[in-house]
């Protein structure tokens, strides 16, 4: 459990949540919420693949409803969390669960979510580390490392010279300081993903909109 960020004693005690488990419920809800933030809209179809402990106990520990609740935009302490599957149905989102009981994963609390809306598709793998802490380890086939420890930009771009400079220039123009930055690409000249953690939430929406004007940039999302 590397790179964990505890901001207060409450992070050690555990999150405020609708139970029963910080790993299986609160963590799952946060995975779902980060999926919704990056996807940017409500999917028409949500396919949830569950591994190891998640696969064995997802119904009893509320992992199923928590993941859906997060994709609906709910926080772990939202009182509507137990109603998430019905609310998803009411909003037109079809949900399916695929438990992989015999597949070994890199972490016992692992979920892989596939979102679809029309021709748009996104795949994300997330793990729940305990105490409500999470990490996203895969995004559309890219190995990434995203937590909810800091405000974060997730940027999809074409791998061509100058894009990183344009993005960091926009951050500088909006007085946004970069705390950590990771760039991953499928192959030279193919799609690449930038994960940029920053120190502030001020002017981030304006910066994200400005980034979307970069011709080589495919998508830009910001989440906390």
172-181 pLDDT tens trace: 999 999 998 9
Question: Is cis: bond before 20, omega within 30 of 0?
Answer: yes
Q: How far is Cα 155 from Cα 183, in angstroms, rounded to an integer?
A: 9
Report whether pLDDT(14) > 80: no
Report whether pLDDT(94) > 90: yes
Question: Could you give phi then psi for residue 39, rounded to 5 degrees?
Answer: -65, -35
H or E element at residue 138: strand 133-139
127-140 pLDDT tens trace: 998 877 899 999 88
Instruction: Give the CA radius of gyration of the chain.
Output: 17
> How many alpha carbons lie under 13 Å from residue 143 in its C-beta half-sphere?
2
User: What pairs with residue 95 in β-bridges?
Assistant: 46
183-198 pLDDT tens trace: 887 778 888 888 899 9
């Amino acid at each position: 459990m590397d790179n964990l960020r505890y901001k207060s004693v409450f992070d050690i005690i555990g999150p405020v949540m609708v139970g029963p488990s910080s790993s299986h419920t609160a963590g799952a809800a946060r995975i779902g919420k980060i999926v919704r933030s990056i996807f940017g809209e409500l999917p028409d179809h949500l396919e949830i693949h569950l591994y190891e402990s998640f696969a064995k106990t997802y119904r009893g520990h509320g992992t199923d409803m928590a993941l859906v609740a997060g994709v609906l935009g709910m926080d772990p302490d939202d009182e509507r969390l137990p109603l998430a599957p019905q609310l998803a149905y009411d909003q037109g989102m079809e949900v399916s669960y695929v438990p992989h009981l015999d597949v070994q994963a890199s972490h016992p609390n692992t979920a892989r979510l596939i979102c679809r809306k029309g021709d748009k598709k996104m795949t994300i793998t997330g793990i729940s580390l305990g105490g409500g802490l999470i990490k996203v380890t895969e995004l559309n086939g890219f190995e990434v490392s995203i937590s909810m420890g800091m405000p974060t930009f997730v940027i999809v771009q074409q791998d061509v010279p100058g894009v990183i400079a344009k993005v960091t220039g926009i951050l500088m123009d909006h007085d946004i300081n970069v705390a950590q930055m990771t760039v991953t690409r499928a192959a030279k000249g193919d799609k690449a993903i930038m994960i940029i953690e920053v120190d502030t939430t001020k002017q981030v929406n304006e910066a994200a909109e400005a980034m979307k004007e970069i011709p080589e940039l495919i998508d830009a999302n910001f989440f906390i």
